[in-house]
Amino acid sequence: MPSSTTAARRNTRPAGVPSPVAMFFQGFLKHPVMVGSIIPSSDKLIRKMLGPVDWAACKLFVEYGPGVGTFCRPILERMAPDATLIAIDTNADFIRYLDHTITDSRFVAVEGSAADVERIVRDHGHDHADYVLSGLPFSTLPAGIGPAIAAATHRVIRPGGAFLVYQFSPKVKDFLTPHFDTIDHDMEWWNVPPAQLYWAWKD
Ligand SMILES: C[S@@+](CC[C@H](N)C(=O)[O-])C[C@H]1O[C@@H](n2cnc3c(N)ncnc32)[C@H](O)[C@@H]1O
């Protein structure tokens, strides 16, 4: 549910800035392995993935691999006025694009790796995250990075919080099972390509 009326917001595109779809495709052409997809996530995937989030209990939401912000806008619409969204992406072009197109006092775009989430969360004045969302292409990340990200994510989430993961391959679950005992699963066919959805809860 949209809940913020007080936070300063502007989710518009200044003249000369490409559309999200065009920008995403440019990013894919430049870094195909790191981006891992040619078009952004569908609205149906976004709604289903964010469905179980308890927004009233969310003060810090972290997103890995926001790309052009497909999830950032719906997250900001649902987030409380005093909550924060930190979006972390290794792609400097995407971070610049987010900074140009999303001006919301609750939003922070960070150029960096999800593997450094604990330091990034600390640097922004928090000691844990309530929810972490990942659109990272886990299976094509450089060796060792996927397991390191999964371990750091488990450490940074508060008890009762969750790691939300969407991915084209069910292999991503192998990264979650060493850390999370309770993992819910669903699929979204209305996405290119169809996606596996996981909600890994921290007990
Ligand atoms: C599939 S795309 C994201 C799609 C987007 N979230 C959406 O819903 O349309 C994957 C993103 O992960 C980013 N990425 C890859 N490795 C990363 C890492 N180690 N840390 C943070 N972001 C990373 C890429 O730059 C890219 O923006």
The string of pLDDT tens digits covering residues 161-176 is 999 999 999 999 999 9
Mutate to test the pocket of ligand 1, among 33, 34, 70, 145 (most ligand atoms within 8 A of CB): 34
Whether the per-residue pLDDT at 15 is higher than 90: the answer is no
Q: Which amino acid makes up residue 141? A: L
Tens of pLDDT, residue by residue over 81-90, are: 999 999 999 9
- Cβ atoms of 197 and 166 within 8 Å: the answer is yes
Q: What is the pTM of this model?
A: 0.90
Identify the pLDDT of residue 25.
Answer: 77
Nearest CA to ligand 1 atom 9: 40
| Residue 172 Cα to chain centre, angstroms | 15
Q: What average pLDDT does range 12-41 have in this prediction?
A: 77
Mutate to test the pocket of ligand 1, among 90, 93, 111 (most ligand atoms within 8 A of CB): 90
Q: How confident is the model at residue 5 (pLDDT cuts 50, 70, 90)?
A: very low
Whether the per-residue pLDDT at 7 is higher than 70: the answer is no
Omega prior to 147 cis, within 30 of 0: no
Lowest mean pLDDT among 1-5, 64-68, 99-103: 1-5
CATH annotation of 22-201: 3.40.50.150
